[in-house]
Chains A and B, each alone.
Chain A
Amino acid sequence: GNSVTQMEGPVTLSEEAFLTINCTYTATGYPSLFWYVQYPGEGLQLLLKATKADDKGSNKGFEATYRKETTSFHLEKGSVQVSDSAVYFCALDITNTGNQFYFGTGTSLTVIP
């Protein structure tokens, strides 16, 4: 079947620290991969995406590379800020007929000054 496994949280980092949130997936075909972010009290927002192997998605200093050989899509940021505190969701979309996303359980990140 299709599923996403995400690093368990919560994660607490100091400002300017390096962030990695691990994400691995199982898919019956060739999925597109996404990272969504949910800030406190808000809905999910797309952070970045990659639609094929070796693609790198990037946005707001965050990066993730689609690794088909390791079925992974780890999220990284070189220097986190307090404003990055949120819940991060890894997701895949496998269908070629519309949208059917599979989400990971989410990783809560708190950045302290």
Chain B
Amino acid sequence: KAGVTQTPRYLIKTRGQQVTLSCSPISGHRSVSWYQQTPGQGLQFLFEYFSETQRNKGNFPGRFSGRQFSNSRSEMNVSTLELGDSALYLCASGEGSSYNEQFFGPGTRLTVL
């Protein structure tokens, strides 16, 4: 099976712009979660989508949003970018059952200038 893929792998934006990141989960997986990884804050949960519905949400401002399509692919959008949004954004997919393993993609490195 192909693993979790994320595009693009690297992105450079300026403050105030918006950005969309994409994640394709492992075939058959219906759950997609997004995480932000920074040196200062570590890995922080953004949100989880399951069957096109947001099922869990972390403590991030409304500028961070996402969606999931019928084929389970997911996109994450960040509007009005701030310097502090520079991070590695990781996507993870799973079968959707609680307490089960999540499989992580390689991440998208976002730099905000």
Interface, chain A (partner B; CB < 8 A) = 32, 34, 36, 42-46, 49, 51, 89, 91, 93, 95-106
Contact = CB atoms under 8 A, between A and B. Distances in A.
B63 to A, nearest CB: 20
A43 B99 contact: no
A85 B87 CA distance: 23
30 contacts: A43-B4, A43-B90, A43-B104, A43-B105, A43-B106, A44-B104, A46-B101, A46-B102, A46-B103, A51-B99, A89-B43, A91-B43, A93-B98, A93-B99, A95-B98, A96-B98, A96-B99, A97-B98, A98-B31, A99-B31, A99-B48, A99-B94, A99-B98, A100-B48, A100-B56, A101-B35, A101-B45, A103-B43, A103-B44, A105-B42
B104 A45 contact: yes
A98 B96 contact: yes
A104 B43 CA distance: 8
Contact of B58 (A32, A49, A51, A100): A100
B21 to A, nearest CB: 15
Contact of B55 (A98, A102, A103): A98
A95 B90 contact: no
A98 B42 contact: no
Contacts of A42: 106
Interface centre among A32, A98, A101, A102 (most CB of B within 10 A): A98
A67 B94 CA distance: 26
Nearest to A52: B99
Given A44-B90, A97-B56, A102 B45 contact: yes
A93 to B, nearest CB: 6
